[in-house]
Chains A and B, each alone.
Chain A
Amino acid sequence: MSEFITRRVLWMVFVLFVVTVITFILMHAVPGGPFSTEKALPESTIEQLNEKYNLDDPLVMQYVEYMKDILIPVVMTGQQQKSLDHEYLINISLPFDDNATLRWVNFGPSYKSVSRPVNDIFRENLPISAQLGVLGVLIAACIGIPLGVIAGLKRNTVYDYAGMGIAVLGVSVPVIIMAPVLQYVFGVLLGWLPVTGWGEPKQMILPTFALGFSQSAVLARLTRASMLQVMHEDYIRTARAKGLRERRVVVVHVLKNSMIPVITVIGPMLAYLMAGTFVVETIFAIPGMGKFFVTSITGRDYPVIMGTILVMAIFLVLANVIVDVVYAWIDPRIRFT
């Protein structure tokens, strides 16, 4: 098992390496630079800015420098610490010298908002997107799993058709439709909930529901399909044959086993939702990470692009590795393939 985990984690590191390289090449391939704005800056200013951020260096050097700032911890003393260029996520005071700190993970400056390094974006905006994503998944699970279970148990009845009808509805209503409709009905027409903003519980209801609803449909369908498959297994027949009560068969044998695939999609779903919050954040004016995805890419704000893609990729890959490990733990056959 430990060998399996090691292999998966090493593979994950390799995947992240490839993702950063591809992103780095692709974003530099987009013509223009961070300082080619509508109102052209003087030539000399651009030269100086390029010089300051080492944008004239060969791409390989830039990549190495960038990764070095993130991966290699440094020890700093005195004045250096106050500079914005030395903004690190992890700061640990070293015991042997009052002035010295061990500093680690620097995602670099943002070219567009000079006073805000990328680390600040992660500190302030990432938690909001994370809250939104977690609440969205919770809503999806609370709606989707019960619907799927009922539909699976009462196959080909009104409950099944109603549940799966709602699921088709959910799949057909992406966030981009759900958000304005919810805003109109509950915000404008009924006036029950605020239309925009984030922070108060009242403001969180509409966005999280808009985000979670379509995912709840995915969970409902998966739960139902998984229930149906499990109910055909031999061990369920055995359970019935040995005279267990139906209730016990369903709760202990069917439900428990059919939840395995459902639980394993929730991890990646969270990562996926966090990367897909852009539409919800825009429509509901939520100050999350979403707006940086687009503005950084269109503005060629290289460190912000790298940072956001890297963090999202880490979430995604980590979620998948956890799923793999959980699966391998449940089903030992997987470890050897």
Chain B
Amino acid sequence: MATTQVQGQPMEPVAAPDNVVQLRDCEQGRSLTADALRRLVRNRAAVLGAIIIVLNVFVAIFAPFFAPKGYDEASFRDNNAVHSWMTHVFPNMKPVSEGGYVTVNDDYLLGADALGRDLLSRIIYGARVSLAVAFIGPAISLSLGLLVGVTAGYMGGKVDNLLMRLVDIMYAFPTYLLIILLMAFFRFAKPESGTFAGALSDLDAALGGMFFIFIGIGLTSWMGTARLSRGLVLCVREMTYVEAARATGARTGWIIVHHILPNIIGPLVVTETLNIPSYISYEAFLSFIGLGVNPPRPSWGGMISEGAQKIQTYPFQAIFPALALFMVMFAFNFLGDGLRDAVDPRLRGVE
């Protein structure tokens, strides 16, 4: 409290503790976007995160130009081969020439996996999966959650009650088990081509198994967004500008799109950004248990799973993809934290 007063900020209006957050969220508006952006740019960690993400997206999109080899190019002569620098970093991997067990081949900057595929290339192509999940996961969760949350919040009454009880029930599912069950359903179902299900299945095959990962993650993670957006709608709905719009005869759809959505989207985007790392780790988990992307398409989770089995002999095969995953998750966390602080600086006390 003392610090706030020293910095000369106006005191917050006294409110019941449980709706402090809502009031604060309500105060955010579009007019503050530029202000928030300015604060975001000044946050070095967030900018670093953003740069790492942009670089990764760039590398993922142009993977064929950056990857020295194809992700499925196997050379059995070079299985588990390592670059000479790695024998110094990983002391237990002694090359054959020094009485160890490791084949040294300098063609592979980060070594090769058990099938003699270039690890660096696989990590570069693997970025495609993680980043696709990082952007499409929140999009699905946001649209599903908004649909349910805004409907519940705006309609109120019985609809609200029903939808929120549905959310409660979904929360009772152990997420990991539900997502495995859903993925098993998607993966083992072989619908006839020509039907709608068949078209989805074909789309999934064309995307190397990514489509159903998006669906699986989306279906198990919209509940938080729904609850948050409902709460935000409940408080924006009572604002005088909504009342004014209603008085001028605006239709419900118009009010929701033009008056409610713009005023609740800020906190939702921040929350979704903070959730991105968990979407990425869901994908890694699915690939880890073998329900993720279709082989030979690489995914960091799948590579860690393969590498972890050989952690004592070829640790690099798990460590390098783990570092890649770590870097991206770290970047998204930095960006998400920065975004949150930019939108609601009182939490950090930066200004």
Contacts and interface: CB of A to CB of B under 8 A. Distances in A.
B8 interface: no
B174 interface: yes
Contact of A176 (B12, B190, B288, B348): B288
A15 B285 contact: no
Interface string B1-13: 1011000000010
Contacts of B349: 155-156
Contact of B17 (A176, A177, A233): A233
A31 B184 CA distance: 9
A27 interface: yes
Q: Is the interface of B mostly helix, strand, loop or mixed?
A: helix
A312 B329 contact: no
Contact of A172 (B91, B182, B319, B329): B329
Contacts of B181: 23, 26-27, 30, 297, 305, 309
Q: Is the interface of A mostly helix, strand, loop or mixed?
A: helix
A134 interface: no
B168 A189 contact: no
Contact of B173 (A19, A184, A233, A293): A19
Nearest to A18: B169
A50 to B, nearest CB: 18
A256 interface: no
Given A31-B188, A174-B284, A189-B91, A168 B333 contact: yes
Contacts of B304: 176-177, 180
Q: How large, as a class, is the contact surface on chain B? A: 35 or more
Interface string B59-75: 00000000000000000
Interface string B273-313: 00001000100110011110000000001001101100110
Contacts of B244: none
Contacts of B325: 174, 176-177
A189 B92 contact: yes
Interface stretch (A85-93, A138-146, A273-281): A273-281
Interface in B58-116: 91-92
B40 to A, nearest CB: 16
A290 to B, nearest CB: 9
B254 interface: no
B185 A26 contact: yes
Interface in B178-235: 178, 180-182, 184-185, 188-190
Contacts of B348: 156
A173 interface: yes
Given A313-B172, A313-B173, A316-B172, A181 B188 contact: no
Name, among B91, B188, B190, the residue most crowded by chain A CB atoms within 10 Å (CB to CB): B188
B311 A184 contact: yes
Nearest to A309: B177
B176 interface: yes
B241 interface: no
Nearest to A224: B347
B133 interface: no
Interface of B: 1, 3-4, 12, 14, 17, 20, 91-92, 168-169, 171-178, 180-182, 184-185, 188-190, 277, 281, 284-285, 288-291, 301, 304-305, 307-308, 311-312, 315, 318-319, 322, 325-326, 329-330, 332-334, 337, 347-349
20 contacts: A23-B181, A26-B185, A30-B188, A31-B188, A32-B188, A168-B333, A171-B333, A173-B326, A174-B281, A174-B329, A176-B285, A176-B325, A177-B322, A177-B326, A188-B311, A278-B285, A282-B305, A297-B180, A309-B173, A313-B173
Interface of A: 11, 15-16, 18-19, 22-23, 26-27, 29-32, 155-156, 168-169, 171-174, 176-177, 179-181, 183-184, 187-189, 195, 225, 228-229, 231-234, 236-237, 271-272, 275-276, 278-279, 282-283, 293-294, 297-298, 305, 308-309, 312-313, 316-317, 320
Given A195-B312, A317-B172, 5 more contacts: A27-B181, A176-B281, A177-B325, A184-B311, A187-B311
